[in-house]
Chain A
Amino acid sequence: MVAVVLAGCNGGTVDRHALTNDAATIDSINCEAWLLSGAVARNRVTTYYAREQAEELAVQAGNFANALAHRATAAGLEPRVRAKANDASSLASRLWRLHDRPTDRDGARSLAAAFKRAGSCS
C-alpha cells in the first residue's frame, strides 16, 4: 500500500520536470489523435472505435487541462504551465468534436492537420 502511494504521488507543485513530462504527454495525445482522426478520414476505423477512443483521449486531455490550470507552480513557470493548460483544453475540445462526429471524414481530415501541428508529430 505504501509503495502504491509513493509511486502514485503525482499531484503537488508543477516544477520544470513535471511540466516537461506533462507537455510530452499532451504531445503524445495529440499524435495519437492525429493517427485516429487520419484513420477516420480514410474510413479505416469503425464508428464505435473512433467515438470511444476519442472520448478516452478527450477525458485524459481534459484532466490535464484541469490539473495544469489549477495546480500550484514553481516560481517563474506559471505562464508556461497555464499555456500548456490551454493547449490541453484545445486538444480536449477537438477530441470531443471527433467523438461527436465520428463519421465526418472531411471534419476528421481538418482535425488531423490541427492535431499534427499541435503535437509536432512526424
Chain B
Amino acid sequence: MNPKLLLNLALGILAAIGGFVDIGDLVFNTAAGATFGYQLMWVIPIGVLGIIVYSEMCGRVAAVSKKAVFDAVRERVGFKAGLGALVASEVVNLMTLAAELGGVAISLQLLSGLPYRVLLVFAIVGLALVLWIVKLEWMERIFGYGGLCMLVFAVAAVKLGPNWAQFGKGLIPHISQNNPWLYLYFAIGLLGAAMTPYEVYFYSSGGVEDRWTPKDLGLNRANAIVGYSLGGLLSLALMIVGAAVFLRHGINPEHLGTIALGAEQPLGKIGLLFAIVGILFAVGGASIDTVFSGAYNLAQFLGWEWGRYRNAAGAPRFFLTWIVLLVCALGIVMTGVDPVMLTEYAVIFSAVALPLTYIPILLVANDRDYMGANTNGPLANTLGMIYLVLIMVIAIAAVPLMIITNVGQN
C-alpha cells in the first residue's frame, strides 16, 4: 500500500481504537454480552453505521469549509443555542475524560502493581507531556497502533468458539422478553458509546488540523469507513467474549481488569498482557481525543486560536484549556469515584446530548453556502434523518431507563 495513504489512515485508526473503542465501549459491550449473550449484537452495526455517516459528514464539512464542528455550530445555530450544545458537550467530555484517565491508571496498576492514585498523577503528567511535546501525527501512530493490541479480543472471540447460530440471530433486531427494560438500557448504552459526540469533534478538528481539502474527501470516507468498522469489529469481539466467558460462568464484569481476564481464558498469560496493554492504549488514546475535543470545542466556539500544530504561544488559551481540563479530570478521579461507574453515567449523559451535536452537523452539511457542490446527497440525507430520529428517541429514553434499571444493576 502507498506509505502516505497508510500514514493518513492512522487518523482513522486512532479515532477507531482510541475513540470508538474507549472505556465506554469496553464496559458496555462486555457487560451486554455477559448479561444478554449475543442478543444485542444488532445494535453494534447500527451504531457503527451512525458514526460513519456523521463522521463522514463532519469530515466533509471540515475539508470543504475548513470549519470544525463548533465553528459551524456557532455560525449556524447562533450563540444561545450553541452555548447549550457547548455546555452539554463540555460536561460529558469532562466526565468521559475522567473515566478514561481512571482507566489508564487501572491498566498501569494491573501492569505494575503500583498504587492507583500515584499512577493517576503519573498518567496525568505523562499525558500532559505527550500532548505538549509529541507531534499529533506521532500521537496518532503511538496510540493508534498500540491500541491494535486490542485485536487480541478478536482472536480470543474466535478461539472461544462462539455459537455462530446465536451470533447470526443476534444480528437481527429484536426485543428480549427477559427483562426488556435492562435490555433497552444496554441497547441505548451501546448506541451512546458508539456515537459518543467527542468522536466527531476530534475527527472534524483533526481534519482541519491536517489541512484537508476537497481533494481529501476520498481519504475522509476511507478513514470513517475503515476506522469505525475496525472499531465495530472489536465491539463485536468484546460482546462475544462477554457472552462466552462471563455469561457462561455467571460473572457480571464490574471491573476493567475483569475484561482482560476474558482474553486470558482462551489465550493464557500472553492474551492477558496484550489485553491490558491494548486497553491502556485504547483508553490513553481516548483520553487524548476527549481532552483535545474539550479544548477544540471551547476555542472554536469562542473564536480563539486553536490547534496542536500551533505552539503554546500561538494558541495560549487553547493550551490552557486542555491543561485545566486535565486538572479537573484529575480532581474528579482523585475523589475515588469508580471509573467504570463514571463511564456508565458519561455514556448515558452523552446519549442525552447527542442531538445537540448531530443536528447542527446535518444542517451545515446541507448548507450550500458552506458546502457548495459537496452538500449532502440523497443517501447521506436519508441516513442522516433516520439516525436523527433514532438519536432523539435515545436522548429522551436514556435517563428514564437509567433510573428504572438502577444504572444497569436492576
Contact = CB atoms under 8 A, between A and B. Distances in A.
A48 B407 CA distance: 30
Interface stretch (A27-35, A72-80, A85-93): A27-35
A32 B251 contact: yes
Interface string B259-285: 011001100110011001000000000
A10 B272 contact: no
Given A3-B402, A31-B250, A122-B249, A44 B268 contact: yes
Contacts, number: 87
B113 A31 contact: no
Given A7-B406, A49-B110, A53-B110, A28 B260 contact: no
Number of contact residues on A: which range applies? 20 to 34
Majority-rule SS of A interface residues: helix
B233 interface: no
Contacts of A66: none
Contact of A53 (B245, B250, B258, B406): B258
B203 interface: no
Top 3 closest A-B pairs, CB basis? A48-B113, A28-B252, A53-B257
Contacts of A44: 264, 268-269, 272
Number of contact residues on B: which range applies? 20 to 34
Interface of A: 3-4, 6-10, 21, 24-25, 27-28, 31-32, 34-36, 39, 43-49, 51-53, 56-57, 60, 119, 121-122
A51 B225 CA distance: 41
B403 interface: yes
B254 interface: yes
Contacts of A10: 406, 409
Interface of B: 109-113, 245, 248-255, 257-258, 260-261, 264-265, 268-269, 272-273, 276, 345, 399, 402-403, 406-407, 409-410
A31 B410 contact: no
A34 B272 CA distance: 16
A121 to B, nearest CB: 6
Given A46-B273, A52-B257, A7 B407 contact: yes
29 contacts: A3-B399, A7-B403, A7-B406, A8-B406, A8-B407, A9-B406, A21-B410, A24-B252, A25-B252, A31-B251, A32-B253, A32-B258, A34-B249, A35-B265, A44-B264, A44-B269, A45-B272, A46-B269, A48-B112, A48-B113, A52-B109, A52-B110, A52-B257, A53-B255, A53-B257, A53-B261, A56-B255, A121-B249, A121-B250
